[in-house]
Structure 1
Amino acid sequence: MTGASSGIGRATAIAFGKAGASVVIVARRAEKGEESVHLVDGVTRVGKGLPERSLPT
């Protein structure tokens, strides 16, 4: 889910997690993305954060 680090994107990621979906979080700000990963992990039975990856520019 893009934009999952805050606002509507974060709320949507959490709602999908509660509904049992597998959620992939993509965020420009690593620290905010990690916060969202922990929030989604808190409402799902299975979840894991992946290490930050730098994309070529």
Structure 2
Amino acid sequence: MTVRLTPEQRDQIAADAAVRYAAGESWQQIGTSCGVTGEHVRRITVARFEVTYRRWG
């Protein structure tokens, strides 16, 4: 079942995700705690905030 988020919910998830991603959490971890996919969290966050991606390796 697909969950339809309101614009307010998207803004709140994006704001929380921007802080949590900068602190070191993965998009998947953030998405799991929000009840959506990590890819969805990444897309709504990048659309609202300037995100600096971490380099792995």
TM-score of the pair, normalised by structure 2: 0.40
- TM-score (structure 1 length as normaliser): 0.40
